[in-house]
Structure 1
Amino acid sequence: MLLPAAHAAVFSDFDVARPFFYGAIMFFLLSVVVGIATSNYRPKSVPRSQLAALVGAYIWLPILFAVPFDQAVKDTTFANAWFEMVSSFTTTGVTQYDTAGRLAPSLHLWRALVGWMGGFFVLMSAVAVLAPLNLGGVEVLSGRVPGRGAQGAGQITHAAGPADRMIRHSATLFPAYFGLTLLLWVCLLIAGETGLTAFCYALSTLSTSGITNGQPMATATGGLISEVLVFAFMALAITRRSLPGAVLVDRNRSIFADHEVQLASFFLILVPGLLFLRHWLGALAENDILNAGAAFRALWGGLFTTMSFLTTTGFESADWQDARMWSGLNSPGLVLLGLAMMGGGIATTAGGLKLLRVYALARHGEREMDRLVHPSSIGGGGDGERRLRQGGAYVAWIFFMLYAMTFAIVVAALSLRGLEFEQGLVLTVAAVTTTGPLAVLATEIPIRMIELSVSEKVILGGAMIVGRVEILAILALLAPGVWRR
């Protein structure tokens, strides 16, 4: 909170600086008191305590983040401030304040900073909390029951407590996370972006939150150079191997042989390629059919936007409109929804179903097709591949069904509140996959979040938390088998 306070004070915006400065002091003292009060606390069940703390962080921290934001924004309610902070901390990035000049620059900085902290919290919790409990996508590779702990997790838990593991993993992850953010910020400044705009782009790219300071990526000053830089750093959310200290059950596999990288590459070729080729396959009478410049802009717009929504970031390329006109698709909302639902890599800041689960289901389907032709055949690829096609695919299918049930419940809840089905579906996918910009780009008429009722925002806020934590982790928290550990 001291960073937006200092930023606002430099520009003499003391109405914004004071709430953040006082909030920093108040919540620092509160944290110290809570830390002292719980210093000797020893939970009966360490796994359940970790999962409860993980879920509690997404319930409690946005309330703290919303206090100075509510005081600094004129003519708003605390419910709106809470929804904005839930959206930021879960790296969803959807905003209610879409009117130009509605928020001060320091408030945009706070939104992007909360999203960036939320991205690091996801990385840290995935490695230090979810992976030892065989959750967060690791269960697909290990073949063990989710929530019961992977092989060797018991020894790890006894050798080092939860706090020790979090400190150790944070000391490994944070320098890389901070350094990459700083590097992208400097590169964007060199490309021609202004200071705050470049900083918000850098924070949002590494956290895949898609939060800006009111200037969309499509209108970036740096143009194509800025988009190329952001594209390169968004690729970090495809695989967990891009950062140190990652969850590596299959350590012997190179990054080029990584299943998630291969599947993401397939979609990065398929989706822009189909949009590009549809120009001729649809026999559209365009004047620039032989215009090489228009063809390149259309291809790049499709490639950048595909990467953006596959990693659940939600940035739109300046050439995305050219890609839509080139392909003849007036509203390619289903394409964006499908990409966001697949999501990025496990143990990354991306949301969605995750590429590894999609890959496991695809390989299982391929194996079943082979068995229809050759019932007595034996699947190759070694023990790891067989485990992925069998137990991994089984767990991935369970997660997929829970994912679909979550969509159905949230859509039904929004429909009962009077929201139209199309809007409810888009908002549900945007919330559960943590891809907030879908509310603007996936429909012909952008959905204005400020017009939603308080109950609808509470439903969407809960969906964001469920999508970020993942339903398997919540079920593991409620399972009696975890209580006895």
Structure 2
Amino acid sequence: MKSALCSFLRDFGKLLHLPAGLAVLSLPVILYFKEWFALVPFGIMAGIGVVVGQILYHTFKGSDQIEKGFSVMFVAFAWVIIPLLGTIPFFGAASQAPSGQYQELGVFREFQNSFFEAVSGFTGTGLTMIKDPTQIPYVLQWWRTLSEWIGGVGVIMLASLLLKLNFKDQNLYNAETRNWTIQGDDVFMDTVYKIWWLYLGYTIVSIVLYYIFGMPFWEALNHGMTALGTGGFSVVPDSFSNYSDNIKMLSVVIMITGAIAFKIHYLLIIKFDWKTFLKQTQLHFFLVFLVTACVILFFIHSEVAVIDLVFQAASALATCGLHTVDIGEWYMSPVFVLVILMILGANSGSTGGGIKTERFVWFFKGFFRNVKQAWDPKEGEAKVIYNDEPQEEDAVNSHIQQAANIVFLWLITLTIGTLLLSLIVKEEYSFHEVLFDTASALSNVGLSTGVTGPNMPAEGKYLLSFLMWLGRLEIMAVAIFLISPFYLFKKTPH
């Protein structure tokens, strides 16, 4: 137990160097826009990370690799500490900036608002405490974007690439990275490299395309990162409402790209395996969900432009959070359609959140197999087809059971979260508005009906922050994290 804890602290020391690297990436923005007051908070964040990280690393650097039982605990703590350090630039800039220069910066003088914004960024959610991003410093606009871009793939994935974290198994990565796999990988670090190269390449292409389509460079840079990372932060008021239809349609493509599993991108871009690419079951279901939702929205909310309906459906299903209309002005039926899309979510192994397409595929397959078996026991014995291939019975049962567990826990959490938030905001908002923002937080989406904002009670901000953390780690990983101390203590010899 003592040796395992030492290994845990050593690698956590390595991880704490990451905020310093992110601060360095923010330095050019500070220098270019001459926002000198931001040097102090970014310096403090970097200094704390490096000093504490060095102390932990050099104190415990002789330790072995982290043991399997500590992997989920490591990720859970990382996703608390990194956003906590990421709070410093918001809170510090609000204290250091010239008085009256930035109208909305004062919001971040309250710790809960700064913490909320940091959690929303690093979890790739996009719910925000501000209405007009142009009324905060450029470096904070960039910091919001950078945190979402990193959060899209994960801080552990980035730290593994840059800081050489040492782990005995893949469980740590699975706890953070929504079951990334690249077909044919024997060494998991191969997957890390391939994912980051794909992610970086797609990001550059997205930025260039936005710029070609007429978006100013600063907006193209930030939106290219947040749209692909399915984050949702914008650097302009009203998100994408005032852009051309061509930019909106391009954004739909970019959001969908971010919501598709990296394994599927790998098949298409790296291996040029169109045959296998076209057989991917979760891709088929994702597109069916999207098209079906667009058709339903068109019939029940036809007064909204088609491009805006498609944009909002794609943003909800991809769990991106960008918007072209004020969803708070929509009536109940179309809002519930978006809630369902946010719950369904993106592909497993993508930058998106939600329950995930793959889990719903297995959930539906399990349900219909049970129905068939009730009518004809022989039907239930038929091979289950996934990715156009018959699956082994043990694997099928495992997938179905895991999917059912996640769906059940997720919906229970959504129900409890909605009830708690309703009690906090009381009668100020309707039930469907509260449900929408709760689902948005838990699915790491970022769309809002207006419930989320600086005037929300502090309890509501911390509740939504917890739900964003829970959704980013995924509920089963958090459950394992909560019981890990008892299990590890039980294993410890006395």
- Fold shared per TM-score above 0.5: yes
Moved more, 383-392 or 225-234: 383-392
Among 446, 456, 462, which residue is 2:460 paired with? Answer: 456
Q: Which residues of 2 match residues 149-168 of structure 1 at below 5 A? A: 168=190
- 1:24 maps to 2:46: yes
Kindly state the Cα deviation for residue 207 of structure 1 after the two structures are TM-superposed.
1.4
Q: Give the deviation of 1:174 after TM superposition.
A: 1.8
Change (3 A) 1:417 1:134: closer
Matches within 5 A, 1:80-479: 80-99=113-132, 101-121=134-154, 124=157, 129-130=170-171, 168-221=190-243, 223-236=244-257, 237-244=259-266, 254-277=276-299, 298-317=305-324, 332-377=334-379, 378-380=381-383, 381=385, 383-384=390-391, 386-387=393-394, 389-420=396-427, 422=431, 423-437=433-447, 439-440=448-449, 446-477=450-481, 478-479=483-484
Q: Corresponding residue for 1:147?
A: none
Is the Cα–Cα contact under 8 Å of residues 271 and 302 in structure 1 kept in the other structure?
no
Q: CA deviation at 1:391?
A: 2.9
The verdict on how the C-alpha distance between 1:100 and 1:465 changes in structure 2, with shifts beyond 3 A counting, is closer
In the superposition, relative to structure 1, how do residues 175 and 57 fare at CA in structure 2: closer, same or farther (>3 Å)? same
Shift of 1:235: 2.1
**Structure 2 CA distance, aligned partners of 1:122 and 1:361?**
30
| TM-score between both structures, scaled by the size of structure 2 | 0.77
Deviates more, 1:24-33 or 1:202-211: 24-33
Q: SS at the partner of 2:454?
A: helix
Structure 1 411/24 Cα, relative in aligned 2: closer, same or farther at 3 Å?
same
- Amino acid in structure 2 at the alignment position of 1:269: V
Residue 337 (structure 1) shift: 0.7
The amino acid that maps onto 2:254 is F
Contact in 2 for aligned 1:173/1:245 (Cα 8 Å): no
CA distance 1:430–1:104, change in 2 (3 Å) = same
Residue aligning to 2:85: 64
What is the CA distance between 1:307 and its match in structure 2? Answer: 1.7
- Alignment: residue pair count: 432
Contact 2:297–2:334, Cα closer than 8 Å, also in 1? no
The whole-number CA distance in structure 2 between the counterparts of 1:10 and 1:333 is: 42
Contact 2:286 / 2:347 at 8 angstroms: preserved in 1?
Answer: no
C-alpha offsets along residues 434-474 of structure 1, whole Å, 9 cap, x if unaligned?
1121x23xxxxx22410122222112111111111011112
Code of the aligned partner of 2:292: L
Alignment-derived partner of residue 289 in structure 1: none
| Cα offset, 1:259, TM superposition | 1.4
Would you say the 8 A contact 1:6–1:17 is kept in 2? no
What is the root-mean-square deviation in Å for CA atoms of aligned residues?
Answer: 3.6
- Supply the distance in 2 between the matched residues of 1:17 and 1:401 (Cα, whole angstroms): 46
Structure 2: gaps of 5 or more residues: 1-22, 95-104, 161-168
Q: 1:183 to 1:82 in 2, by over 3 A?
A: same
Deviation of 1:217 (Å): 4.2
Which amino acid is 1:379 matched to? A
Quick check: 1:109–1:196 contact (8 Å CA) kept in 2?
no
- The CA distance in 2 between the partners of 1:461 and 1:410, in whole Å, is 11
Letter in 1 for 2:84: I
Using the alignment, how far apart are the partners of 2:290 and 2:71 within structure 1? 36
1:453 counterpart letter in structure 2: P
Q: Give me the whole-angstrom Cα distance separating, in 1, the residues matched to 2:133 and 2:179.
A: 43
Partner amino acid for 2:346? G
Q: 1:46 aligns with which of 48, 67, 78?
A: 67
Give the SS at the match of 1:254: helix
- Structure 1 CA distance, aligned partners of 2:126 and 2:470? 15
Secondary structure of 2:119's counterpart equals helix
Q: Deviation digits for residues 258-311 of structure 1, max 9, x if unmatched?
A: 1111101111221112233458xxxx9x8xxxxxxxxxx944332232221111
Q: Is the 8 A contact 2:240 2:324 kept in 1?
A: yes
1:63 is displaced (CA, Å) by: 1.2
The separation in 2 between residues aligned to 1:136 and 1:84, in whole angstroms, is 21
Q: Deviations over 1:141-192 (max 9, x none)?
A: 9xxxxxxxxxxx9xx8xxx8xxxx55x5433322221121111111111111
Assess if the C-alpha contact under 8 Å between 1:353 and 1:400 holds in 2.
Answer: yes
* Residues 344 and 354, structure 1, Cα contact 8 Å, conserved in 2: yes
The CA deviation at 1:16 is 2.8
Decide whether the 8 Å contact of 1:51 with 1:129 is kept in 2: no
Q: d(CA) in 1 for partners of 2:152 and 2:228? A: 7
Letter paired with 1:108: Q
Shift of 1:376: 2.7
- Relative to 1, partners in 2 of residues 1:232 and 1:211: Cα closer, same or farther, differing over 3 Å? same
Q: Structure 1: how far apart are the matches of 2:487 and 2:265?
A: 33
Q: Is the 8 A contact 1:379 1:386 kept in 2?
A: no
SS of the residue aligned with 1:417?
helix
How big is the shift at 1:10? 1.7
Q: Per chain length, whose mean CA-contact separation is higher, i.e. which structure has more relative contact order (CA < 8 Å, sep 6+)?
A: 1
